[in-house]
Amino acid sequence: MAEKKKTTIVLFSGEYDKAMAAYIIANGAAAYDHEVTIFHTFWGLNALRKDEQITVNKGFMEKMFGKFMPRGADKMGLSNMNYLGMGPKMIKKVIKKHNAMPLPDLIDLAKELDVKLIACTMTMDLLGIEQKEMMDGVDYGGVAAYIGDAEGGNINLFI
Amino acid sequence: MAEKKKTTIVLFSGEYDKAMAAYIIANGAAAYDHEVTIFHTFWGLNALRKDEQITVNKGFMEKMFGKFMPRGADKMGLSNMNYLGMGPKMIKKVIKKHNAMPLPDLIDLAKELDVKLIACTMTMDLLGIEQKEMMDGVDYGGVAAYIGDAEGGNINLFI
Amino acid sequence: MAEKKKTTIVLFSGEYDKAMAAYIIANGAAAYDHEVTIFHTFWGLNALRKDEQITVNKGFMEKMFGKFMPRGADKMGLSNMNYLGMGPKMIKKVIKKHNAMPLPDLIDLAKELDVKLIACTMTMDLLGIEQKEMMDGVDYGGVAAYIGDAEGGNINLFI
């Protein structure tokens, strides 16, 4: 039996459009029977946060990062033409109109397609994000897990 | 006969300097006899727009995106030190002074070197960009085309 | 004897957090016995600049770029939540608190692990950066050197 092809994406960016691109490529690769991993680090972690407020016991600086960073995919801004939040509203409207999938649905689909969603524990520490703030179905790992996955990958991207 | 090496670049970003980097790598790889594809999606599509105004029949939001996004490579801003348009002018001057190639020339060279330029049809829909607004010699495709190209690639980048 | 695995990173971005991600991945790959190269281009070159002022003999525009770009890793801003310099200070404090490594230490570690640090000569020319402004232990090359390295790479990233 042939070995499965592999796609590994580092999602570093915390913008709606970049996360959309990451999840569209991930889901496309999964549909083509790749084994797919998205490794969320730095601002990309925000895509995996639950959208409710979670009480955590953190230091001051971690609280500041946690407070000002978006809670979950739906709250993220655009990398371009953000216009104080107008851009994301417009993008979501055109997504709906053209029957494309908004980011939260793309993430749900990824889970259904068995895309492995990993959150980087080192940057969670730095930004003060705790596991109880994260959605279900997320795995946790560090750079070693990433290198292990990526070194055998056919498609490796940093987004 | 040995199989050709392959380079596949996703150009997501709409900035002059990032598009320059994409095209310099693409042209370099083509010169080293790689089969090269640049897959333009989201803001990267603007590199392929004609610089004249094209009358299109669009909905309101698509018109807004179309109106505010740069028409063509020469109108794009910098990702860094843009300073309300000063940065791009300075970059273009130093490019000229050092006999380097400005972005529109890099795109022309890519075509001569048979770099395949693909525009992502799904994000064209979202941003309201029509084929008649695009320069000649562009192919059209979706994420499936990208995965097909990239999974056999030696160099895969997301820019 | 098995051939060594290879990781090649283009560091295009000039932000502290993105450069941190690049160097963490590079050092991780080197720890897993990969042959690792970071190819610094455009704003990524600033990570390799010495932090003192160096007198150079440049044209006006090159002087402007040189003056306004950060001298060295410690002076770089964040890609997100920069808040006029507050963000970098906060990140450096949490890095210290969590016993993680700040960027200058990550770069020193990379050198100890024999990560090859290349500065792109073409963009040095454009941005008016001279070799005497750069830290020791840096190699110099162009896009051809990059393609040669990357085409045999297991992990290729553009950051």
Per-residue pLDDT reduced to its tens digit, C116-132: 999 999 999 999 899 99
The pLDDT tens digits of the residues spanning B17-42 come to 999 999 999 999 999 999 999 999 99
**pLDDT computed for residue A150 by the predictor:** 96
| CA quadruple C76, C78, C83, C87: dihedral, nearest 10 | -90
Cβ contact (<8 Å) for B158 and A154? no
Q: Which two tokens stand for residue A138?
A: 């997320």
Q: Is the pLDDT of residue C111 over 90?
A: yes
More confident residue, A155 or B51: A155
- Residue of A94, A156, A158 for testing the chain B interface, max B β-carbons within 10 Å: A94
Q: Write the CA distances from C65 to A34, B94, B150, C84, C143, integer angstroms.
A: 44, 10, 36, 19, 22
Q: What CATH code is assigned to C6-158? A: 3.40.1260.10
Q: Is the pLDDT of residue B152 over 60?
A: yes
Closest C-alpha among A28, A32, A38 to residue A4:
A32
- The 10s digit of each residue's pLDDT in C96-107 is 888 889 999 999
**Average pLDDT of span C3-17:** 95
Residue C110 main-chain phi, psi, to 5 deg: -55, -45
d(CA C45, CA C71): 10
Structure tokens at B43: 């803001």
Question: A-contacting residues of B 31-90, CB under 8 Å?
Answer: 41-43, 59, 61-62, 64-65, 68-69
pLDDT for A87 equals 80
**Nearest chain B CA: its distance from C3 CA (Å):** 17
Query: Are B61 and A90 an interchain contact pair (Cβ–Cβ within 8 Å)?
Result: yes
- pLDDT (0 to 100) of residue B85: 75
Interface TM-score (ipTM) > 0.85:
yes
pLDDT at B94: 86
Burial class of residue C114, CB neighbours in 10 A (0-12, 13-18, 19+)? exposed
* Residue C47 pLDDT level (bands cut at 50, 70, 90): very high
Instruction: Give me the residue spans of the domains in chain C.
Output: 6-158
Both structure tokens of A130: 């705790």
Averaged confidence pLDDT in chain C: 91
Length of chain A: 159
Exposure b/e, B48-83, CB count within 10 A at least 16 = b: bbeeeeeeeeeeebbebbbeebbbbbebbbbbbbbe
Q: What is the pLDDT of residue C107?
A: 97
A9-43 per-position pLDDT tens digit: 999 999 999 999 999 999 999 999 999 999 999 99
C39 secondary structure, DSSP code:
E
In this structure, CATH architecture of domain B6-50+71-158: 3-Layer(aba) Sandwich (3.40)
pLDDT at A1: 52
- Report yes or no: B148 at the C interface, CB cutoff 8 Å: no
Q: Which tens digit of pLDDT belongs to each residue from A50-109?
A: 887 777 777 777 777 777 788 888 889 888 877 767 788 888 888 888 888 999 999 999
pLDDT at position B71 over 90: no
Q: Among candidates B5, B102, B99, which has minimal Cα distance to B47?
A: B102
pLDDT band at B93 (very low <50, low <70, confident <90, very high): confident
Higher pLDDT, A5 or C60: A5
Residue B2, pLDDT score: 67
- Nearest Cβ partner for C94 among A12, A43, A62: A62
Cα distances (angstroms) measured from residue C120 to each of A33, B30, B106, C143: 38, 19, 18, 7
In this model, does residue B113 exceed pLDDT 80?
yes
Q: What is the pLDDT of residues B53-67, one digit of tens each?
A: 777 777 777 777 777
Residue C88: its pLDDT value, please?
85
pLDDT at B1 over 60: no
What band does C90 get if pLDDT is binned at 50, 70 and 90?
Answer: confident
Question: pLDDT value at position A14?
Answer: 93
Note the pLDDT of residue B88. Answer: 85
Chain B residue with minimal CA distance to C128?
A: B94
Q: How far is B99 from chain A (nearest CA, A)?
A: 31
Res C1: pLDDT: 52
Residue from B11, B81, B159 to probe the interface with C (highest C Cβ count within 10 Å)? B81
Nearest CA in chain A to B44: A80
The encoded tokens of residue B32 equal 């080293």
Find where tokens 């830290």 sit. Answer: C135
Average pLDDT for C54-64: 75
Of B41, B62, B68, which is closest to A94 when you measure between CB atoms? B62
Pairing of strands C35-40, A6-11: unpaired
Q: Measured between alpha carbons, how far is A124 from B55 in angstroms, rounded to an integer?
A: 48
CB proximity C21 to A under 8 Å:
yes
> Which DSSP category does C34 fall into?
-
